[in-house]
Amino acid sequence: MSRATVYGVGTGPGDPELMTVKAVRALGRSTVVAYFCKRAGAGNALTAARDYLRDDHVMLPMVYPVTTQLSHHCDAYREQIEGFFDESAEQVAAHVAAGRSVAVLSEGDPFFYGSFMHIFLRLRERLPCEVVPGVPAMLAGAGRLPRPIAMRDDILTVIPGTLPDAALRDSLALAQAAVVMKVGRNLPRIRAALEALGATDRAWYVERASQGGERVMPLSEAPDGPAPYFSMVLLPGTGQRV
């Protein structure tokens, strides 16, 4: 009999058809399905995986604490979020200790800004863990552009929009091709950085890539103000050899 295992299952960017065969098989081997969510919803990963769930799956919601009113850089936020991941990891571990494999659903890819990595880092030395890669949202977004995001000798840089203004601008200045993740309330700052660099004309805004309500447009046409959580800014490379 195989050992109970923690599977970090990448569910892709939101389209259920972009889940991999391996991800679906990991769900089939699991008794418990754990998923991250806010208090008011099921979460994107669960929505993407819903067609592949069984009636006898034991569902384990891991509900994020309400921390939107706190700065992500303050001690109170870190204490709440670290405590949340500690508790979630122990809930997963309890099922595995009882002989039940757990599929932890992760939006996009588990190791690419995915919440599962925090469970993995807490359990990797105690329990069998397996990462099932998923299609990153940035590639779903790039697939909607009228030109490749990177070709020939382009160097692709992935930049979190949460960087301070100077670091954000410097990172974009050095990038031949770029994907800016974690846009949300940072969209005005990202737009300003690109405008300062004279790069707005080749930047694209993608919202909810592969999901219902998807929007794709030049950044110059994107709405003012904050963007939804599932949004990104893409800067295709020129494809010129260096």
Q: What is the pLDDT of residue 28?
A: 96
Question: Dihedral through CA 75, CA 79, CA 85, CA 90, nearest 10?
Answer: 160
- Model confidence, pTM: 0.89
Measured CA to CA, the distance from residue 33 to residue 48 in angstroms comes to: 13
pLDDT of residue 86: 96
| Domain residue extents for the chain | 6-135, 138-235
DSSP conformation letters of 43-62 = -HHHHHHGGG--TTPEEEEE
Q: Are 234 and 149 in contact (CB under 8 A)?
A: yes
What is the pLDDT at residue 236? 96
**Neighbouring C-alpha atoms within 13 Å toward the C-beta of 90:** 5
pLDDT tens, the chain, 242 aa long: 579 999 999 999 999 999 999 999 999 999 999 999 987 778 889 999 999 999 999 999 999 986 555 555 667 778 889 999 999 999 999 999 999 999 999 999 999 999 999 999 999 999 999 999 999 999 999 999 999 999 988 999 999 999 999 999 999 999 999 999 999 999 999 999 999 999 999 999 999 999 988 999 999 999 888 898 889 999 999 876 55
What is the pLDDT, as a whole number, of residue 69? 53
| 232 and 160 Cβ atoms separated by less than 8 Å | no
6-135 folds as: Cobalt-precorrin-4 Transmethylase; domain 1 (3.40.1010)
Distance CA 118, CA 110 (A): 10
CATH class entry, domain 138-235: alpha beta
**SS3 state of residue 37:** strand
Output the pLDDT for position 79: 85
